[in-house]
Amino acid sequence: MSTRAGFVALIGEPNAGKSTLLNRMVGAKVSIVTHKVQTTRARIRGVAMEGESQIVFVDTPGLFQPRRRLDRAMVAAAWGGAADADVVVLLVEAQRGVTEGVERILEGLQDIGQGRQVALAINKIDRVQSEVLLGLSKDLNDRYPFVETFMISAERGHGVEALRNWLAAELPESPWLYPEDQIADLPMRMIAAEMTREKLTLRLHQELPYQLTVETEGWEERKDGSAKIDQLIYVVRDGHKGIVLGHKGETIKAVSKAAREELQEFLGRKVHLFLQVKVRPNWLDEAERYSEMGLEFKDGNA
C-alpha cells in the first residue's frame, strides 16, 4: 500500500477553534488554547497519522484586520501557510456565522484557493440549532466552491474523525515527511515557551498578553533524566513587569507551577523551570523576536 503525506492549513478568524482542532487531530497539546484571541503566533505544525497517511497540520495565526507590526507579521504568516499547503480547511464558528472577518477570508481564498482543495469546517455545532447550521452551510457554499463541508465540535470531538479521514485520502502519494513518532516540528524550546505563554495569557487580562513574549533561553539535560529550563518573559514597560510578578511574586509562582506541571506531563519526566521577567520596551519591533516566533519581520509598514 502506498503512503501519503502533505500539508494541511487550518485558517479562520481568531478563536474559531483552530488550535483546539489541531490538538484533537494530533492527540497531543502542540498549540496553545486560551480564551484570548490571537494567541497562536507561529506556524505550529502538528503531525497526525491516519492509516498510511501522514497529515502535517499548519496551525496558522487567526486572520484579522492587522493594526501593529506583530499583527501584520501574524496575518502574513497565516496566508503564507495557506498558500504553501496541499489542502486548506476554513474553520468558521457556528455561532458567529459570516462576519466581516469571514468575508475578508473568503475574498483572500479567491487568490490562494486556486489549484488546491479547500474544505469548510463549521465548528462549535453543539451551540446552535440544526436549521441555523444548514442555513450557514448553504450561505458559505454559495460564496465559495468548497469541495467538502464538515460539521464539527473540535472541543467535544464530534465530526473530527470524518474530517481527518477525508484529509488523509486527499493528500498526495508521498513518503512520510517526519518520523512516525514526531508530533511537532517546532523545537521543544519553542513548545515550552508557548506553554508558559499560555499560562500567562490565562492569568493576565486585557491587552497585556499581546505585549509580552516568552523565550526559552537555556535547556539543560541533567544526569538524573530531568530537564532544567530557563525562560525569559519580555514585557514592554516596568508596570507590566510588576503585573507579571504579582503581589509578593504570587502571579509568577502560579504561572511557573502550572507551566512546569504541563511540561512534565508533556515530556514525561521531571522539569525544573526558572522564569525571569525583563523589560524590553521595543521587543515588538525587534527582528530577532520575530524569528524566534517563526514569523517574518518586515521593515516599516510593509
101-111 pLDDT, tens digit per residue, is 899 889 888 87
**Distance in angstroms (rounded) separating the CA atoms of residues 218 and 33:** 25
Bridge-based pairing state of the strands 87-93 and 117-123: parallel
Is the separation of the CB atoms in 108 and 76 below 8 Å?
A: no
Give alpha helix (H) positions in 85-180: 100-112, 130-143, 160-170
Percentage of residues in the chain with pLDDT exceeding 70? Answer: 75
Is the separation of the CB atoms in 116 and 16 below 8 Å?
A: no
Question: Are 192 and 165 members of one domain?
Answer: no
| 255 within a domain of the structure (yes/no) | yes
- Report the number of distinct structural domains present in the chain: 2
- Residue-wise pLDDT tens digits, 173-193: 999 887 776 666 666 788 888
Question: Are 74 and 27 members of one domain?
Answer: yes
- Residue-wise pLDDT tens digits, 223-258: 998 989 999 999 888 888 888 998 899 999 999 999
Domain boundary among 142, 170, 198: 170
Question: Is the confidence at residue 116, as pLDDT, over 70?
Answer: yes
Is the separation of the CB atoms in 168 and 56 below 8 Å?
A: no
Is the separation of the CB atoms in 75 and 25 below 8 Å?
A: no
Question: Are 165 and 20 members of one domain?
Answer: yes
CATH number at 261 reads 3.30.300.20
Domain boundary among 106, 135, 170: 170
CATH number at 24 reads 3.40.50.300
Residue 80 pLDDT: 64
Question: Are 50 and 90 members of one domain?
Answer: yes
Residue 89 pLDDT: 93
Give alpha helix (H) positions in 53-99: 69-84
Higher per-residue pLDDT: 68 or 64: 68
| 50 within a domain of the structure (yes/no) | yes
Question: Are 114 and 56 members of one domain?
Answer: yes
Question: Are 10 and 154 members of one domain?
Answer: yes
Domain boundary among 113, 135, 170: 170
| 302 within a domain of the structure (yes/no) | no
**Report for 3-17, 65-79, 156-170: range of highest mean pLDDT:** 156-170
Average pLDDT over the chain, rounded to an integer: 82
Helix 100-112 to helix 130-143 angle (10° resolution) is 40
Question: Are 226 and 272 members of one domain?
Answer: yes
Q: What is the mean pLDDT of residues 115-131?
A: 91
pTM of the model: 0.65
Tell me which residue range forms the domain holding 208.
Answer: 188-292
Question: Are 87 and 201 members of one domain?
Answer: no
How many residues appear in the chain? 302
Question: Are 85 and 154 members of one domain?
Answer: yes
**Distance in angstroms (rounded) separating the CA atoms of residues 50 and 223:** 36
Question: Are 163 and 218 members of one domain?
Answer: no
Question: Are 133 and 281 members of one domain?
Answer: no
Task: Report residue 23 as a C-alpha cell.
Answer: 490538538
**Distance in angstroms (rounded) separating the CA atoms of residues 140 and 109:** 12
Lowest model confidence (mean pLDDT) among 73-77, 236-240, 264-268: 73-77
- Return the beta strands (E) in the chain as ranges: 4-12, 44-50, 53-59, 87-93, 117-123, 149-151, 212-221, 227-235, 271-279
Percentage of residues in the chain with pLDDT exceeding 90? Answer: 34
Question: Are 135 and 215 members of one domain?
Answer: no
